[in-house]
Amino acid sequence: MDTVFLFPGQGSQYCGMGKDLYDNFHIAKEIFNEADDVLNMKISDICFEGDEEKLKQTQYTQPAIAVVSIACLEVLKSETDIIPKFVAGHSLGEYSALYSAGVLTFEQTMKFLRERGRLMSSSKDGGMAAVIGGDESLIQQAVNEVKNIGYVGVANYNSQAQTVITGDKKALDRVGEILTEKGVKRFIPLAVSGAFHSEMMRDISVDFKNYIDNFEISDAKIPVITNVDAEFETKKENFKEKMVKQLYTSVYWYQSILKMNDNGIKRYIELGPGRVLTGLNKKILPEAEAFNLGNLETITNFINNLNKE
């Protein structure tokens, strides 16, 4: 069955994530131990025993989610012969996708996310909010109405009914008022430190480019559908450009899922903590098979069911 691997982004984390994999699979234990060495900190402890507030801090969240996602990936690979047709990841999840496609080594993945998280956490201006139930034209109309107050753009096109906007806090508040008056179901300010995936990230994108330019990366062995354009990518030089651009442009997520569907994908496997992407998938493509493999129970059940087929 044509399958894709999907990797979650920020917001999927929870205290204790990955511990059961660490305790039950040697390959997972090796991954967490290597992450601790590369990052020169006990990211494993932050995943397994850290407090919720620390885990929410961007500089820790990003490598923490990635190391759990990669542990899930490597456990699945060690237990099955599933080879994905494509891979994709949501925001920071794209780095786990790049690792799975052979673009980045594990060490590069950890180092890139440590620097990306550090730079993003240094940005304290702006905010983000989720809009539930408003179509894109309505949201764009509201965004256009607040240009005299401040910048607002679209951060994530998560599903046809869920869009995340980003920008100046006063302008965001006004967009919320406009959309509420126009009858959107919900407008939810998000607990983040900055206006991620917006023009307000351009300055840090320059620093990030300077950092990743010191590393040699590889062409993809498996096509990656990238956030910035919902298109297939395999060339290493384009990945570097897109990693930088992703910081200040929209994440075209549901468009990426529809692209996969158009290319014959029938099974969508989310590898990592939580089930955010699996939930979105059920809204984007209700008929498609969608699984989250994020802990010992879900991975074991999936493998057992696979063996029965």
- Extents of the domains making up the chain: 3-122+199-308, 127-189
Residue 123 has what pLDDT?
83
Under 8 Å between Cβ of 166 and 127: yes
Entry pTM: 0.96
What is residue 130's three-state secondary structure? strand
Under 8 Å between Cβ of 104 and 112: yes
- What residues of the chain score a pLDDT lower than 70? 309
What is residue 251's three-state secondary structure? strand
Detail the DSSP E strand segments found in the chain: 3-7, 86-89, 127-132, 152-159, 162-167, 186-189, 224-225, 232-233, 251-252, 267-271, 289-293
Under 8 Å between Cβ of 306 and 267: no
**CATH architecture of the domain with range 3-122+199-308:** 3-Layer(aba) Sandwich (3.40)
The reply to whether 3-122+199-308 and 127-189 are identical in fold is no
Under 8 Å between Cβ of 289 and 26: no
Catalytic residues: 91, 197
Fold of 127-189: Alpha-Beta Plaits (3.30.70)
Residue 208 has what pLDDT?
98
Residue 243 has what pLDDT?
98
